[in-house]
């Protein structure tokens, strides 16, 4: 497992601002998001937010870190000792469980699309991508070590492949607004895993 | 093969405006794109563009159609009679050959991310997705019919899976700015195809 750069305690105030950001992003999308909208969700002034986060980009970087932490806590709770079902639970979390969060998936795609123009956001998105890949990689490597998966597979390659399928599904979900693309991707991931991993 | 809704002649003027849009999008991205920037690339006034396209969204819908046509012409030229290498050429065109077109891939992801807020653009993106899927589906169906691929696969499912991998690769390409993700996706597509299609 990689270091857990995101594994830090948030104060109650930071937690409340993250939750307000979540609601504001879902309602406004990213392009139209203002500190004022976040402050309104938070129930305080924009100054109260600026006290913790200098700029909107700083706040959004913290929010991306918060989303990663939330997801990691969730998969940690869902982890099983069996590599195959652990991998399945991860893929469910990354795909199927996003079905009811269309507005957030849209806001996150907007952020990804703006990455080339916002260095700090790009850096955090790259860290999130790396971290997720590492989580998937370690489950695959564990399965290879224990003989559940074939020993000639490269866990790094498998992890990148699965993250590619996840990102593609979410991009198509935004454009097509049809949750069935998440299920198609879940089946694609299973077919890929069966093809390359089954011992 | 599906109907070819996009298969229509463009006038020289329309062609020139499309090429100007291509250059402007690569230089400015989508969020900052103005009719003025396109007109500057075109070398005429914005009125000259508005004569052909009422709004920026109308122009961008036409541009998405133009990109699809350009790609279809290209794959038509690269088509072979062998379903396996035909599929390979399609995937190369959708993935590897985008490597040198980072700025356009970024602009297109911006458009996808804005799809939920721009109905006409969303509709054209959905048509492009459907059309590409149909092109892939027909190559797979041809291979199944001729016994090159297994006869128990559903060409529709395979096509959706491959388009998911393509979209995921492009989204990661934008965020990571690293063309190796396109090659990883190309290998992922091959592994998937081998797993489900090999007779």
pLDDT value at position B78?
A: 74
Q: How far apart are the first and last CA of chain B?
A: 23
**Position B37 in a domain:** no
**Position B145 in a domain:** yes
pLDDT value at position B191?
A: 92
Are the Cβ atoms of A160 and B169 closer than 8 angstroms? no
Token code pair at residue B50: 């508005």
Token code pair at residue A4: 């857990």
Token code pair at residue B93: 């065109």
**Cβ contacts of residue A124 below 8 Å, gap of 6+?**
A61, A64, A65
Average pLDDT of the segment spanning B110-136: 95
pLDDT tens digits, one per residue of B165-195: 999 999 999 999 999 999 999 999 999 998 8
Sign of CA dihedral B74, B78, B79, B83: negative
DSSP chain A: ----TT--PPPHHHHHHHHHHHHHHHHHTTTT--HHHHHHHHTS-HHHHHTT-SSHHHHHHHHHHHHHHHHHHHHHHH--S-HHHHHHHHHHHHTGGGTT-HHHHHHHHHHHHHGGG-HHHHHHHHHHHHHHHHHHHHHHHHHHHTTSB-TT--HHHHHHHHHHHHHHHHHHHHHH--THHHHHHHHHHHHHHHHHHB-
Query: Would you say A35 and A46 are in contact if contact means Cβ atoms under 8 Å apart?
Result: yes
**Which residue is closest to B198 within chain A, CA to CA?**
A195
**Position B42 in a domain:** no
Residues of chain B contacting residue A31, judged by C-beta atoms under 8 Å apart? 31, 114, 117
Q: Is B12's pLDDT higher than 70?
A: yes
pLDDT value at position B2?
A: 42
Name the nearest CA neighbour of A166 among A124, A128, A115, A118: A128
**Mean pLDDT rounded to a whole number for chain B:** 91
**Position B8 in a domain:** no
pLDDT tens digits, one per residue of B138-171: 999 999 999 999 999 999 999 999 999 999 999 9
**Position A1 in a domain:** no
How many domains does one find in chain B? 1
Q: Is A97's pLDDT higher than 90?
A: yes
CATH code of the domain covering residue A88 = 1.10.357.10
Q: Name the residue range of residue B181's domain.
A: 55-197
Are the Cβ atoms of B126 and A164 closer than 8 angstroms? no
**Position A24 in a domain:** no
**Position B135 in a domain:** yes
Give the closest-approach CA distance of B97 to chain A in angstroms: 18
Residues of chain B contacting residue A177, judged by C-beta atoms under 8 Å apart? 116, 122
**Cβ contacts of residue B152 below 8 Å, gap of 6+?**
none
Q: Is the Cβ of B181 closer than 8 Å to some Cβ of chain A?
A: yes
Are the Cβ atoms of B192 and A194 closer than 8 angstroms? no
**Mean pLDDT rounded to a whole number for chain A:** 91
**Position A82 in a domain:** yes
pLDDT value at position A32?
A: 85
Q: Is the Cβ of B152 closer than 8 Å to some Cβ of chain A?
A: no
Query: Would you say A167 and B197 are in contact if contact means Cβ atoms under 8 Å apart?
Result: no
How many CB atoms are closer than 10 A to CB B20?
21
């Amino acid at each position: 497992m990689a270091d857990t750069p995101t594994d830090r305690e948030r104060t109650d105030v930071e937690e409340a601002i993250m939750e307000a950001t979540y609601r504001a992003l879902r309602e406004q999308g990213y392009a139209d998001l203002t500190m004022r909208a976040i402050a309104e969700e938070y129930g305080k002034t924009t100054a109260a937010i600026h006290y913790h986060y200098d700029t909107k980009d700083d706040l959004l970087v913290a929010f991306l870190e918060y989303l990663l932490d939330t997801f990691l806590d969730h998969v940690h709770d869902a982890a099983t000792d069996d590599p195959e079902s652990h991998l399945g639970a991860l893929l469910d979390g990354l795909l199927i469980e996003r079905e009811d969060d269309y507005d957030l998936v849209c806001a996150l795609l907007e952020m990804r699309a703006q990455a080339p123009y916002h260095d700090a956001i790009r850096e955090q998105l790259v860290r999130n991508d790396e971290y997720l890949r590492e989580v998937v990689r370690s489950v695959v490597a564990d399965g290879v070590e224990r003989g559940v998966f074939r020993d000639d597979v490269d866990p790094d390659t498998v992890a990148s492949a699965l993250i590619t399928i996840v990102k593609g599904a979410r991009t198509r979900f935004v454009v097509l607004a049809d949750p069935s693309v998440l299920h198609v991707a879940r089946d694609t991931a299973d077919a890929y895993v069966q093809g390359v991993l089954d011992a």
